[in-house]
Amino acid sequence: MAQSKQKQAVEKGKVFITATFNNTLVTVTDEKGNTLFWGSAGLVGFKGARKATPYAATTAVEVVARKAQEAGLREVEVFIKGPGSGRDAALRALKAVGLHITLIADVTPIPHNGVRPKKKRRV
């Protein structure tokens, strides 16, 4: 017998925003980290260079946040990653939808001196 998954009402959750130079990805999870909703600027209908704009990020976050709100989400912790232009716009969109933000954290990975560089080119 196949068990059907049913969405349970979650009041608290986490929102992960990844703002790259080409797109903005949004993932809404419960407190354990299980994905409930996700979306991106591309999924909302933007293509090419327009995906990288703050407006595209705002639209993507609004769509996902409204879905989450309808499912009963009220309080969120926000984790922002990446250098893209959609960072601030995404936060503003979350606030505008009406979700209560309890924490904002920047989790952009920073290398502690990274990988070894390529060998010097000899001509």
**Residues 58-67: pLDDT tens digits?**
999 999 999 9
Q: How many structural domains comprise the chain?
A: 1
Contacts of 15 (CB under 8 A, 6+ apart): 26, 27, 28, 29, 65, 76, 77, 78, 79, 94, 99
Specify the pTM: 0.84
Please report whether residue 114 resides in a domain.
no
Q: Which residues pair with 19 in a beta bridge?
A: 24
Structure tokens at 81: 């990653």
Nearest 5°: the CA angle 88, 89, 94 is 100
The whole-number pLDDT of residue 24 equals: 94
The whole-number pLDDT of residue 2 equals: 59
The whole-number pLDDT of residue 9 equals: 73
Contacts of 70 (CB under 8 A, 6+ apart): none
What's 52's domain CATH number? 3.30.420.80
Domain coverage including residue 19: 12-106
Please report whether residue 63 resides in a domain.
yes
Please report whether residue 112 resides in a domain.
no
Q: Which of 3-7, 9-13, 94-98 has the lowest mean pLDDT?
A: 3-7
Please report whether residue 120 resides in a domain.
no
Please report whether residue 26 resides in a domain.
yes
Please report whether residue 86 resides in a domain.
yes
Looking at residue 11, the DSSP 8-state letter turns out to be: S
Please report whether residue 50 resides in a domain.
yes
Q: What is the mean pLDDT of residues 94-99?
A: 91
The DSSP line for 36-59 is: EEEEEHHHHT--GGGGGSHHHHHH
Please report whether residue 121 resides in a domain.
no
